Amino acid sequence: MDARDVERLVELSLDGELDPAEEAELSRVQLSPEARTAAARAKHFHVHLRDKLRAATDDTLTPPSLRARISYRLQREVDVERDRVFPWGRAVAATLAVTVLVLASWSDASSAFDVEERSRCTAATRHRKCGPRGLASVERSSTTTSATPVRMPPPSRASSPGCLGARLAVMDSHDMAYLMYDRRGARVSLFAVPKQARFRPPSTFRPATFRGRPVVVGQHRGYNVVSYADDRVTYWLVGNLDTDELMAFVPEDPSN
């Protein structure tokens, strides 16, 4: 193994798929001068991004439009740096993608509604990933292998054309489904969790009705949030769209 293998094996290591001998060899290679230099450059880049993001944002409730512009510019910088950093570029970019939300909302206040941030962490230990054509297999896997199955929501007119993919993850011993949509370049996350997982919105959220279905609407850490439920599953829509646009992803109540 040499430094060129680190990029390929680091993700396997994060998923716990390397045996002890391979882990030891990976650690040895990571301590080589070449890898240490790449790590130092990556750390400097990470600190630069954090400082730039803090300077661009005044509070934890950043307007969604500003957050979208910041995320776009950060991604451009990540793409450039990824081509320069050897051989950790992709791993650094993936780590930054996971932590952008945390850096953008540095409030120390905890909340019962940390679903998006927590799901991104737990998905690293157990997940399945597929493209839009594989949504049925994600639901089938959840139904057949999970003690607390989560089913996919019926696609609405707004969301079905722009679905980018789906994965299953575990949060607090409960299976959950995570779908990502694209709407004119903006990302919308949909989380489906079984009701027994007991996720609750902050008290500042307000109830509303949309397409004959009760919904809960609010904002969390600068993102607009819409929640709805059926008999077994609670759904959370999180995105940097306006609330009215986010509502378009809510399907009609089939009982009406």
pLDDT given at position 133? 47
pLDDT given at position 88? 38
Burial class (CB in 10 A: 0-12, 13-18, 19+), 201: buried
pLDDT given at position 229? 84
pLDDT given at position 236? 84
pLDDT given at position 152? 61
Its pTM stands at 0.47
For the chain, the structural domain boundaries read: 3-104, 115-247
pLDDT given at position 213? 84
pLDDT given at position 145? 56
pLDDT given at position 144? 60
pLDDT given at position 69? 65
pLDDT given at position 30? 67
Q: What CATH code is assigned to 115-247? A: 3.40.1000
**Segments of the chain with pLDDT less than 50:** 82-113, 115-117, 119-133, 158-159, 161
Residue 151, by phi and psi: left (phi above 0), alpha (psi -120 to 50) or beta?
Answer: beta
